[in-house]
Amino acid sequence: MLWQVISEEAAASGMRLLVSRPSELEIDLPHVSLADLFQPVAAEVRSELPAAQRRALDLALLSGEEDGDDSDLRALGTAILASLRHLAAGAPVVVAIDDLQWADRATVGALGFAARRLRNERVGLLLARRSAAALTPEAEALETAFANSWREACALEPMSLGGLHRLIDGRFGINLPRPSLVHLERATLGVPLFAIDLVDALRRDGQAMTPEAIVPAPSRSSGWWRDGSSDWQATPGGWWTPSRQSGDPTSRCSRRSRATASRRH
């Protein structure tokens, strides 16, 4: 949700948005996320690249007419760097990847190569991942590609009762009584997307929003699952750290810069 909101705001403000939302089934397919990000702008940047870089990009995007070895990280990374610089000359660029832990290693490696060589270009990274998921070395390197002074990390914790009340009222116009709200918080562990799904399912089924009707019913197809612990693990669109803590859980952001996520300008 947060990732989606930031992406939409970036696009609305005139930034060039390059988007990839990989799935777990695609993690072993090389350059899938790279195609998501750069296929829409390939025609624009291709003519700006030298022959070797153009060939590397074509091979990665499966758009070339010749077969060849697409494993030259330097050539591809340099092509990505040149493409980002060209795009950023016209407008700020945001490379947005949701579920970073599922992005293929070839894509993340090439992006990291390019990101580490950016200087003052108007290019930013918006990266969302599941807090409990293991990252590849390439993904870890991409997360830290920019200097600390240009990074902002945000970990989202469960919403409070008040936050859930405002969320449901604002989305559906439903003023949940406190007993139902308490059951909703317990059933969803305060995760907003799950709360929205659960309330929407009850609403569409015509059921009253009673405490008895509000029970957890996670769906793997919705991106939610129950793991071996007591926590829900999910990030359909944001950074989530769904750990239970005493008191009123809030969103904690470590503000290292003025950036939205990771940004250079």
98 and 9 in one domain?
A: yes
Q: What is the pLDDT of residues 114-147, one digit of tens each?
A: 999 999 999 999 999 987 788 999 999 999 998 7
Asked whether the beta carbons of 158 and 191 are under 8 A apart, the reply is: yes
> In the prediction, which pLDDT does 64 show?
65
**Per the structure, how many domains does the chain have?**
2
Same domain, 120 and 195: no
> Do 80 and 10 fall within a single domain?
yes
Phi first, then psi: give them for residue 94, nearest 5 degrees.
-120, 120
Q: Are residues 227 and 180 in the same domain?
A: yes
Same structural domain, 179 and 149: no
Same domain? 90 vs 209: no
User: Same domain, yes or no, for 66 and 184?
Assistant: no
The percent of residues above 70 in pLDDT, for the chain, comes to 77
Q: Is the pLDDT of residue 30 over 80?
A: yes
Q: What's this model's pTM, rounded to 2 decimal places? A: 0.69
Note whether 42 and 63 are same-domain residues. yes
Residue pLDDT, tens place only, 92-117: 999 999 999 999 999 999 999 999 99
Q: What is the mean pLDDT of residues 21-33?
A: 94
Over the stretch 184-210, which tens digit does the pLDDT of each residue have?
Answer: 999 988 888 889 989 999 999 999 999
* pLDDT of 265 over the 50 cut: no
Question: Which range marks the domain in which residue 83 is found?
Answer: 2-156+256-263
Instruction: State residue 2's pLDDT score.
Output: 77
Q: What is the pLDDT of residue 63?
A: 83
Q: Are residues 112 and 22 in the same domain?
A: yes
Same domain, 94 and 110: yes
199 contacts 184 by C-beta, under 8 angstroms: yes
Cα separation of 29 and 104, whole Å? Answer: 6
Same-domain pairing of 169 and 149: no
Token pair listed for 106: 């070839």
Q: Look at 20-29, 196-205, 236-245 and tell me which has the smallest mean pLDDT.
A: 236-245
Does the pLDDT of residue 148 top 50, yes or no?
yes
**CATH of residue 58:** 3.40.50
Same domain, 187 and 66: no
Question: Given the DSSP bridges, would you call strands 93-97 and 16-20 parallel, antiparallel or unpaired?
Answer: parallel
Arithmetic mean of pLDDT over the chain: 80
